[in-house]
Amino acid sequence: RTHKITLIPGDGIGPEVTAATINILEAAGKQTGCSFDWHNYDAGADAYAKTGEYIPKALYKSIEQNRVALKGPVTTPIGGGFSSINVTLRKKFDLYANFRPVKSLPGLKSNYPDIDLVIFRENTEDLYAGLEVMINPDIAQSMKIITRKGSTRIAKSAFDYAKKHGRKKIHAIHKANIMKLSDGLFIKCCKEVSEEFPDVTYAEHIVDNTCMQLVLNPYQYDIILTENLYGDILSDLCSAFVGGLGLVPGANLGAECAIFEAVHGSAPDIAGQDKANPTALLQSAVLMLHHIDEAATADKIQAALEKVYAAGKTLTRDVGGKSGTRAFSEAVIAAL
């Protein structure tokens, strides 16, 4: 089978981790009998320089047609400049569920062994929508909008996933003691959905306490269900349990299409130096392979990846190794 997939390598470390990931997918596909027709697009500052658009119309069209995209990180300027490409794509395609599994790989030393938790982050609303105005030069206003529709469908995604995968417990994370109306509506919807799933334990934790609870004992969490901004922050926190941002994958899921990307950003501090760990994007690609019914290819890659981690000889610097992006990806290919 040949799969048409929209590819956005991104910038910073994006092109390096994307090249590594593609090479591994191609090599695995050769063994399992699947191939890929990559439709390659720039986005962000690079796209603007070439086409005058931050997100070229052809890219939108490609995602509409292929309905699956693999995406590297794209730099978002701080303060002024253009709006986040990530946020724009998530809103444009209504990719309302951001699914982020945080799972320990074998062989890595950590204060938190055998972590296996999942984050469901609402992906289209909240303060993250960036609805902001200057009231006057000295007062800025950011609008937090939480809807019944948005909250109910992310809760439903989390509970459906729990049921399908035999997960036992969902914590809705909120700050409804302070934001009584917006976060109040969010947990009200989560609670309502929970009543349709009597086999899944449902609890609510306040987000600041959750940060402490996670660091003290992350094992008390199974599925974290939360709003957009809290989910953004908790994802980076949770990535540290399993070795950091170089490892944790993600999927932006909607009714029509899906974009698979790592949790991490463009890491300008290590870009272009063959230092980035491609594992996070590779594991995002593994999620993508499951999504397009290529489970055999997905499993093959995951097994090879775990073999390389268990051996511990060719790891990147972020997880205590000495190898570069390319050497690491060659080791994964050799282990396939």
The item of ligand NAI, Mg ion, none sharing an interface with residue 125, based on CB under 5 to 8 Å by kind, is: none
Kindly state whether residue 231 participates in binding ligand NAI, applying the rule CB under 6 A: no
Token pair listed for 28: 């695995």
Nearer to ligand NAI, 182 or 266 (CB): 266
- 69, 280, 286, 287: residue in contact with ligand NAI (rule CB under 6 A): 280
Give the list of residues 6+ apart from residue 195 with CB closer than 8 angstroms, or none: none
11 is catalytic: no
DSSP reduced 3-state for 54: coil
Residue 37 annotated in active site: no
Q: Is 318 a catalytic residue?
A: no
How far apart are the C-alpha atoms of 105 and 315, rounded to whole Å?
A: 12
Torsion sign (Cα): 331, 240, 169, 100: negative
Residue 114 annotated as catalytic: no
Exactly one of 270, 286, 288, 335 binds ligand NAI (CB under 6 A); that residue is: 270
| Sign, Cα dihedral of 105, 109, 111, 114 | positive
Q: Applying CB under 5 A, which part among 148-156, 226-234, 310-318, 320-328 lies near Mg ion? A: 226-234
Q: What is the gyration radius of the CA atoms in the chain, in angstroms?
A: 20
In the set 246, 249, 254, 324, which binds ligand NAI (CB under 6 A)? Answer: 246
Is the Cβ of residue 45 or residue 333 nearer to ligand NAI in the bound state? 45
Residue closer to Mg ion, measured from CB, 11 or 294: 11
Cα gap 189→125, rounded to integer Å: 15
CB neighbour list of residue 122: distance below 8 Å, 6 or more residues apart: 96, 97, 98, 150, 151, 154, 186, 226, 227, 228, 231
State yes or no: residue 330 binds Mg ion (CB under 5 A): no
Q: How far is the CB of 88 from ligand NAI (least distance, A)?
A: 11
Residue 23 near which of ligand NAI, Mg ion, none (CB within 5-8 Å, type-dependent): none
Q: What one-letter code names the amino acid at 326?
A: R
Nearest residue to 331 via CA among 305, 295, 298, 310? 305
76 lies in the site for ligand NAI, by CB under 6 A: yes
Instruction: Candidates 42, 227, 232, 318: give the one binding Mg ion (CB under 5 A).
Output: 232
The residue from 180, 208, 293, 313 that is catalytic is: 208
- Integer Cα distance of 178 and 176 in angstroms: 5
Residues that bind Mg ion (CB under 5 A): 232
Residues involved in catalysis: 128, 175, 208, 232
Residues that bind ligand NAI (CB under 6 A): 13, 17, 73-76, 86, 245-246, 261, 264-270, 276-277, 280, 318
